[in-house]
Structure 1
Amino acid sequence: MDTTLADPLVGQTLDGRYRVESRIARGGMATVYLGTDTRLERTVALKVMHSTLAQDPDFVRRFIGEAKSVAKLSHPNVVSVYDQGAHDGVAYLAMEYVAGRTLRDLLRERGRLGPREALEITIPVLAALGAAHQAGLIHRDVKPENVLLTDDGRVKVVDFGLARAVESTNQTRTGVLIGTIAYLSPEQVTTGHADARSDVYAAGIMLFELLTGHQPYNGETPMSVAYRHVHDTVSPPSSLVPGVPPALDGLVCAATDRDPDRRPADASAMLVAAVSLHKSMPEDDPSLLSVAAATPRAQPTVPPSPAGQTTVLNRGDTTVFSGPPAAPPAPRGFLGGPKRWLLVTLALVLVAGVGFSGWWFTSGRYVYVPDLVGQDVDAAAAEARGQGFTVVIGNAVHDLKVKSGRVLRMDPQPQARVLHDAKITLIPSAGPRKIEVPKLEGLTQDQAREALAKAGLKLDDVRNQGSNTVPRGQVISSRPAAGTRLNEGGKVDITVSQGPLMPDLMGMMRDQVEQWLRERGFQNIVIVEQQDDAPPGQVIAQDPPAWRPVAFTDPVQLTVSKGNGGFPWPWLRGDKDKDKDLVDVPDTRFKNVSDARSDLQAAGFKVKVKSLVGGNLVKMQSPLGKAPRGSQITLWS
């Protein structure tokens, strides 16, 4: 019977988004389906938990938490988690779909791998585990079934955190052990505790299997295999396959040490040693690999379970480990004593002495180019060289956004897959181009805009201002001033002349204002006299009005008072008291306005100041001569 057709989920759409196309595999905790994300139109893998697990609220809570943690783990050797949710009460994950096969499939086909090829698969696995350990995540179930080999040669690790989620279910509350027995660390067997060093142990067991084609421990029952993890020592791979380098023996022995404190501290530390070994290791000898076909294949470690199936052991059974179980299998011979310690010491020296240059190694001889854009050029070059790349620093290029001295772009692009010693070209930023503000004074507004655009700058604010010296329509000044250096694309404000502005002439005396206008270039001056209460000769009206733009050729009409014959001021009546309150008015013309004000106020007069040309010197004053004490004197500056 076709199980795919019988599966009720096939053809359904989870959460209205993920269409289930077909079933890929079924395991002890979940079933994996090929699916389509209908929203983003991409193929995904859907891992749907078995309903027995989904009924446990603790599992669901832990499962969601672990999924969120793994989703934050962005690494080229980790299968990405896109989404999590529930369908009809059953929890599921939407993950990256990886076309290819598992490492277990490769082992079934090949039997074992050469030392260099085994490292080329182990290195990206350790890189993925190392990134997880740095983020505080433990895999807990490292095994060939959870290592995927893509069709284009990449290596990816799957199922981070799933075992941790299962540990929270009701099934474990009487003390059970989650994991695949062949790869369980001694501390997981005896206490159920797992940390980064437990993943290192499993990676060491997996490396042993890659090199020899066998798991290190066989047994009739899961209990007998678990016993050997606790009490036996993993043999050096060379004891089964002559030709495995001693340093690689040392790495396997160090990673699978029964004492967690004597293992590499985490996958990153083991990765350092693996990368160093890979760099110094010759190409695999095909004649040595030919023995693989004649080498007997190991029987499944736990016959009742499919190869690689996650197995559950009752921890209560492990309490008998103080003595051997009935008829335990005899341990295989292994390299012990001083020789083993020499190998362990060698591995630890390698771990301590090698830098973190291989942190981002991926599958085989290929690596992913690190993203160095935006970093300081010197620091980026050092990081790339530390990872084995050849670095070339190109000519700096100006850029408005990236600061000078930082990487603007690189070739190849970040995350490109290249040979581990490939050349990387870093193009630094020279920062924004600096441009001098050109001289704009005397140009028209349009000419100024064109000059700025040609220089690489922009005209921003335009302000109009009257001027007696700059013709109308020409630029008086710029802000910033000419010669100032701005970033390319910077903005410049200008002030444009409106030409002369007719000042406020009201209250001036005719002789002063007429002389001042002719000195400024106004020649067409018309004087109209009119009887008025104002003193004779005082301007009582003007045309154009005050502050209106004018040309020097425009006519200016001034209306001045003839008086009204009524002699409004006492000293003009001819009375005997005409000189009673008259005092001399200080002549403050051409003095500083503040000094003029002080002099007049000291003489007992009130002072009013009007703007004439915006200067700080008194240009005109009215009245001059004598005036009543306490009267107002008007100054024009």
Structure 2
Amino acid sequence: MIGKRLNDRYKIIRTIGSGGMANVYLAHDMILNRDVAVKMLRLDYVGDGDMLKRFQREAQSATSLAHPNIVSMYDVGDEDDYYYLVMEYVEGMTLKEYIKEFSPVSLEDAVKIMSQLTSAISHAHHNGIIHRDIKPQNILIDRDGTVKITDFGIAMALSATAMTQTNSVMGTVHYLSPEQARGGTASKKSDIYSLGIVMYELITGRLPFEGESAISIALKHLQSELPHPSSYITDLPQSVENVILKSTAKDEFYRYRSADEMYDDLKTVLDISRENEPMFTVEPDLDATMAIPAIKNRLPLEEIQHTKPVEAQKTVVSPPVKDKEKKKRRKWPWITALVILFLLGTAGVMAAMGMFGPERIQVPDVVGEALEDAETIIEESGLTVGEITYESNDEVPEETVLRSSPKATRTLESGEPVNLVVSSGKESVEVDGYIGRNFDNTEQLIRDAGFENIVEEEEYNDAPAGTIIDQDPEEGDMVIPSETEFTVTISMGPQMSGVPDLTGLTEEELQAFEEESGLTVSVTREEYSDEIAAGGVISQNPEPGTELAVGGQVTVVVSRGAEPALVNNVVVPVVIEYAQPEEPAEGEDPPEVPGDPEPQTITIYIADRDRTMDEPSEEFTITETVERSLRLVIEQGQTGSYRIERNGEVILEDSISYEENQ
């Protein structure tokens, strides 16, 4: 691509970045004479209809936005199989690089940056566009400190709901809002949440949530309380912390109503009067349904008043009469039996009424079941599904139950929870960045990270030969190494092109030379030349035979043609006499009736810079003597001449030098 000219206008100079679906090049606009950024869709996506729609959507989203803190879109085009966007070129660094270099950022600078960001996002929201992927990597800072948001490639125009509502969850997990993490539709308040996370990182120099996988980080956005920035930054004004806490509230109801409101809050966030304002908190929802814990320590059966057996009153028996003693002994077995029956009956009634406590249920074996099926099995058994956690597993498919707590065959009381550990599939790892490293020294590191399939591509680049200039997947992507093809683009060094002899070439021929060689031709000046026609090359730098890197420049001097000589405009006054008719010869009679004078033809010949004696420069008739001024244009070092004839007879002639009349 280096040296290619798109639509005879945008000349590609070098690669400046790459993304998931496009490469970004620095180019020069030959018409407006300015540097631009050209974002070009990768060739392997050209046949992908969905990707083309996404690429075109980026153009449509960005062209509708005009704001000093949003990268401007200049042009959209395609040539052959190249689809590209032409955007403003911002010379500087990403906000991610800025944080790494200058962290911790001063509060004044952080608020200044956030004010620009909220202003830009507010403008996008007013135009019905949600960014959905706000992160420091998509924010640029130029050398003047101006912040510009880029990559509206996954922006969602609210009017285009038919397409965007079905899109998968997009965005970087570290800055993802809870509603996006759970697969919901992104809203304007999702952008506000991401702005809050960016502000958190700006001020503390760290991300609020880290984890071993993207899923664990997303779950923290959903469930975990945001660590207070003041725990990392001492003497942080409460007003500044409140902006972060309010914008990152889990429930979007409690966030700022709009980016405008957040922008207005930032205007006064550093006022001394707000330094110790009350901490922002979210009121608990007292009406929310709450689980009542099961009763663990039950009263002993004998302490339950309604089922406590009543001891029979003792009967006082008079001393037995000897003859009745035998009869009395026979009654006790019956009384004992009645008491036993009474107790058994009471216990049965108590059991029927649940007085002995809830029913004990054996935990079902759901290991190996799909999560959805496991939830159904547990609930149908009379238990409930408790906490669900995920962990990676190279052998068990994702969304499959790995183990339960308590284990199967243990018993629980009806309604008690069973916690599940579910496979998230093979472990995803965060990809390291290898751009700028020598490939031979880095290949083993890539393989040690688990990438078995490494694809090498080569292209000419200004970087030294063997340097990695691009990688896919990108740094920070979460992937499964064993299932991912890792593509590295390796520099072959600058592409060289020989400089031929350009002497005599015209402008059109020079342009053809640029297209063919990848070099740039620049005209330094124009000079007169007797040997080279106007518009042709007189001289060049470097000399013919020199090797230059593609994209290099050849300077030329162009001919203005032969230098015009100095001239002198000489004016020669002459008197052209009218020849009187001859007197009659002696003996001849004069004319009987005198009439008008007979016209005489005067012919003037001039030889100077512009005329020759071959053709008369002037011819007229006279009937009387007249005065004339002859004008001759004589070049320096040359002479001119004139000849005057009357009726074909030479009456005046002379040569005039260049110095005449000076």
TM-score range, shorter chain: 0.3 to 0.5
Decide which structure has the larger Cα Rg and report it: 2
What's the TM-score, normalizing by structure 2? 0.40
Q: Which has the larger share of helix?
A: 1
Which protein, 1 or 2, shows the higher relative CO under an 8 Å CA cutoff with sep ≥ 6? Answer: 1
Greater strand proportion: 2
Q: Tell me the TM-score normalised to structure 1 length.
A: 0.41
